[in-house]
Each structure stands twice: as structure tokens, then as C-alpha cells.
Amino acid sequence: MARTTSCSTEHAAELNPLCREDAFSRVDDSNDNAFYETDRFVNHLDSVALSTVEHIISSLITEKNPVILDLMAGWDSHIPDDLAASEIVGLGLNENELKQNKQLNRHVIHDLNQDPRLPFPDAGFDAVVNTASVDYMTRPVTVFEEVGRILKPGGLFLVIFSNRMFPQKAVKVWQDSDENERVILVNDFFELSGAFEDTIRFASKGKPRPKDDKYAAQTPVSDPVYAVYAEKKGGTSKGKRPAIRNDYGETMAKELLKKKEAAVKRTLRCPHCDEKLKKWEVPDNPFCQTWDNDFMYICFNDACSYFVRGWDRMYREINQGMSYRLMYNPEKDRCMPIPVPTHLALKDGIIED
Ligand SMILES: C[S@@+](CC[C@H](N)C(=O)[O-])C[C@H]1O[C@@H](n2cnc3c(N)ncnc32)[C@H](O)[C@@H]1O
């Protein structure tokens, strides 16, 4: 995941977007206080994505009665009550939003782009959480260094983001990057700060968007949620933090799955979600040349757990930005995955019978 980060070498600006002179410029470079003076009591993500954010936070903060900083906080810190935090502090720019945030014990108004030094003593926090806001930092590496200073050794810095933003306030390098490159950017901030152990990354993509969401007509998938996190160096319980479990759908017992796969020839239903498989014409392209069938059967249910969980599985193990659907080969009587880059991919090959 690491890449060349030295900006002193020849062609550095071409190889590393962080080295470009205007990397941290913004369309609206005016004082942030003016922009955030307006109250925004809105959800910055859809409800499915927000519950994923809570799931990530509750999975990773394992300290007993932790002291937590919500860095760049608004009216909701997404910190589940069952963490039983002894103190939650919010740092942000909008006084009204911070006052209405019921999870905070206290808050501080502080502009990180004016002064990236954090107004807190050394080693006072067990965890620092930054949600949907890293894209607005104009001096992220200094802020990450500061987070390292105020965390206890082994403390957690958890950066969570999606693909939504105030475009006039997000820095150029963020806007110029695709979603996978943004994960690399945040990883770079951690590495360049020198304060943290190796990062761990998590992505939740492709979950169905709630039907009553205001953007449901535009996109059937929920906002993606990415997390990049690391512990401050010097901790004693290195690597003991649990991994984030994929919280979508039930995992089926192997025996039951085998039974359902064996029945597909007769039922033509997906063994994972029971939806009817769709007949799909095998395209005439180099990737399919070795398949001697004219058609296959594919599960095109966008809410199928096999497909939805596939985004995370591919992200961690094989190919970021891809998932796979369940495909049944009628000649060989076999179920197999077929990779897809979007929920729309392959749908134009459906044969309506
Ligand atoms: C998209 S909102 C996210 C709020 C909250 N973290 C959440 O998840 O709902 C961006 C937040 O970043 C904060 N923010 C933006 N620029 C900032 C700056 N220069 N210094 C401190 N906070 C800032 C704003 O106050 C705002 O609450």
C-alpha cells in the first residue's frame, strides 16, 4: 500500500499527487468559520451507511470506559452508547451543532486549517474518531502528528469516510482521486506522520440503499463506507484489536449451502438468497471464449448477501472496486462466482424468457 512519498525527487509531482503544489487548495479557500457558521442538522450519509459507521466504531474501540475525541464533530458523533465512554469531547466549527450533540460531554471550537495543533495535552485520549471530514484538512499530516501526540500509546485513530463531500471545501487532491486512491491518501497521512503502527483498511460497499432514502431513485446502493485506522506506536497490546466483521446478511451453514447448490439444477434459484436466477447470454468476447455454453444463469438480486459481501471480500483479498455474482453453469451443473465492477454490469445480457 505504501508509495513513493518523497517530494524531492525528479518527477515527484507526476508520481505522487501529494507533491503537487496545489494538492491542498480548495475552490473556496476562505476562512472555514464562515462556511460552517450555517447550521447543518442533516445526515451526511444514508441510514444504512450510518449504522455501518456505528458498527465500525463499536467493533474497534475496545477500551473500558474510553476517553474519546470526535475530531471535526457535528451534531451526531455516531458513538454507540454501549461503549460506555467516560468522556467524549467534540472538536468542530459549528457551536449550535456541537451544543445539540447529545453524545458529547464537552466541545471545543477550533479551526484545524488555521491552526493544526490540537488544544489538548499529551496522551489523554484512548481513541480519536474522524468521520466524513478528512477531505477538508489542508494540513492533514500535521493534524495526524497531533493526533499521535494526544493519544495514549496503543490508542486508536479511526478515520472513516464515504464519497460525499462539500466540493467547494474538499481539498483538490481528494477531489482528483477516485475512491480507492482516497484510501491510499489517508494511508499516506498515517505513514507520513510517523506516529502510528501499520494501518488496517476496511470497506463496506454495495449494501442496498433504504427504499425511503431521498436518493433511492438515483442509486439503489447505499453510500460506501471506508475506514483506515491504526494504533499509536508504543502500545503493549499491539494487534489485539478485533477485525471489523462484515455485518451484512446471515452467513449460511456450509451443509445447507451445499444442499441448496445441489438443488439449483431443479429450482434455478440462488442458493444464497433464493431469488430466481436470470438466463444470461454469454457474450462473444475473449474472456468467455473458453465457455462452450450459449447461456448461463446469474443471480441479479442487488441485495443478495453473496453479491453484497463480495465487495468487502474482494477489497480485502483480491481486487479493490469489484464484487461477484452467483453464476450457474447448466452444462456443468456448477455454481461459481462471476466478477463485476458495478451493480449494472452484465445486466444487458439478460435474456427475458
Ligand atoms: C461533513 S461534516 C461531518 C460532521 C461529523 N463528523 C459527522 O460525521 O456527521 C464536516 C465537519 O467538519 C468540521 N470542520 C470542517 N472544517 C473544519 C476545520 N477547518 N476545523 C475544524 N473542524 C472542521 C465541521 O464543523 C463539520 O462538522
Asked if residue 291 has pLDDT above 90, the reply is no
Ligand 1 pocket, Cβ-based, cut-off 6 angstroms: 32, 36, 44, 72-74, 76, 92-94, 111-113, 131-133, 136
Dihedral in degrees, nearest 10, Cα atoms 125, 131, 137, 140: 50
pLDDT in tens, 26-54: 999 999 998 888 889 788 889 999 999 99
The identity of residue 137, as a single letter, is M
Report the percentage of the chain scoring pLDDT > 70: 98
d(CA 305, CA 270): 11
The pLDDT tens digits for 139-183 are: 999 999 999 999 999 999 999 999 989 899 999 999 999 998 999
Q: Give residue 74 CA to ligand 1 midpoint distance, Å.
A: 6
- How confident is the prediction for the chain on average, in pLDDT? 91
The string of DSSP codes covering 285-299 is SGGGTT---SEEEE-
Binned at pLDDT 50, 70 and 90, residue 346 comes out as very high
Q: Report residue 251's pLDDT band, with 50, 70 and 90 as the boundaries.
A: confident
User: Atom 27 of ligand 1 has which residue's CA nearest to it?
Assistant: 74
Look at residue 105 and tell me whether its pLDDT is greater than 60: yes
Q: How confident is the model at residue 199 (pLDDT cuts 50, 70, 90)?
A: very high
Residue 310's closest CA among 349, 282, 332, 336?
336
Quote the pLDDT of residue 35: 87
Q: Sign (positive/negative) of CA torsion 191, 193, 198, 201?
A: negative
Own/partner contacts of 49-54, CB < 8 Å, gap of 24 or more, are 49/162, 49/204, 49/207, 49/222, 49/223, 49/224, 49/225, 50/78, 52/204, 52/207, 52/225, 52/247, 53/78, 53/131, 53/160, 53/225, 54/78, 54/79, 54/80
pLDDT at 185 over 60: yes
Burial of 234 (0-12, 13-18, 19+ CB in 10 A): middle
Is pLDDT at 4 greater than 60 in this prediction?
no
The pTM assigned to this predicted structure is 0.89
CB-CB contact of 127 with 69 (8 Å): yes
Question: Radius of gyration of the chain from Cα atoms?
Answer: 23
**How far away, in angstroms, is 61 Cα from ligand 1 center?**
21
Any idea of the CA torsion for 151, 156, 160, 165, to the nearest 10 degrees?
Answer: 10
Average pLDDT over every residue of 319-341: 92
